[in-house]
């Protein structure tokens, strides 16, 4: 697996620029639970996800977490190199949700090539724009969607990610994704269970009626 397979603008770079990027790449195995990036002062570099899952989230002053977005195979983690983005600071935490295999490009190397290459600069801007779109979508969900709709949508999304109706996830972890207290998640899940949509067990949730969940998620 090489960097050229993951950068859409690879063929628009010069030979020198390609060699600079390719020679700087480090392949890393990141264990589940590892913090890759923590706050705007942390600028490690870009990660290209080969396999696994990375979670990007923010933490309130009171310690409550909420997931901004998640990254999977072939996704690029740009905000772990936020120092290359002028006048923009991100107070975000980036963590491996699963054991993750990734290609790492040092921030200064990427920044150096980006300043020389219009195609790479444009690609970076498009990538950043897509992440801001994710943020705006999240704000829209928080402001206008009811919690039962957000929880239903999350359970369905997680089921698609895991390709299983049985989810090995705690109520606390769901609360961290959605920015809600564990108790609120538990109450809503118990309601879903009473309506025959899910079955609850210790550390696991099984979806028993996708259609009902989907109907709630669409509200």
For residue 105, what are the domain limits? Answer: 3-143
97 & 29 share domain: yes
96 & 203 share domain: no
pLDDT tens-digit readout, 165-213: 999 999 999 999 999 999 999 999 999 999 999 999 998 999 999 999 9
CATH number, domain containing residue 187: 1.10.10.10
Under 8 Å CB-to-CB from 126, ≥6 apart: which residues? none
Name the pTM for this structure.
Answer: 0.85
93 & 61 share domain: yes
**CA–CA separation, 123 vs 135, rounded Å?**
19
pLDDT tens-digit readout, 124-146: 989 988 888 988 989 898 889 99
169 & 97 share domain: no
65 & 79 share domain: yes
35 & 127 share domain: yes
pLDDT tens-digit readout, 95-105: 999 999 999 99
108 & 195 share domain: no
Q: Which residues of 142-156 are buried (b: 16+ CB within 10 A; e: fewer)?
A: eeeeeeebbbbbbbb
25 & 116 share domain: yes
45 & 106 share domain: yes
User: 44 pLDDT exceeds 60?
Assistant: yes
Q: How many CA atoms lie within 13 A of 145 on its CB side?
A: 19
106 & 192 share domain: no
**CA–CA separation, 139 vs 53, rounded Å?**
22
């Amino acid at each position: 697996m090489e960097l050229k397979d993951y950068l859409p603008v690879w063929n628009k770079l010069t030979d020198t620029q390609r060699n600079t990027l390719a020679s700087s790449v480090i392949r890393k195995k990141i264990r589940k639970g590892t913090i890759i990036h923590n706050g705007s002062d942390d600028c490690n570099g870009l990660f290209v996800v080969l396999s696994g899952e990375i979670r990007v989230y923010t933490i309130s002053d009171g310690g409550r977490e909420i997931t901004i977005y998640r990254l999977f195979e072939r996704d690029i983690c740009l905000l772990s190199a936020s120092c290359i983005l002028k006048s923009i600071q991100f107070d975000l935490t980036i963590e491996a949700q699963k054991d993750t295999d990734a290609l790492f490009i040092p921030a200064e190397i990427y920044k150096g090539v980006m300043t020389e290459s219009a195609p790479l600069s444009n690609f970076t801007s498009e990538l950043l724009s897509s992440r801001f779109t994710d943020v705006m979508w999240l704000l829209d969900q928080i402001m206008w969607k009811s919690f039962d709709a957000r929880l239903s949508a999350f359970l369905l999304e997680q089921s698609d990610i895991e390709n299983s109706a049985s989810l090995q996830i705690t109520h606390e972890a769901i609360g961290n994704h959605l920015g809600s207290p564990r108790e609120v998640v538990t109450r809503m899940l118990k309601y879903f269970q009473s309506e025959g949509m899910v079955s609850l067990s210790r550390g696991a949730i099984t979806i028993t009626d996708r259609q009902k969940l989907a109907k709630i998620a669409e509200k």
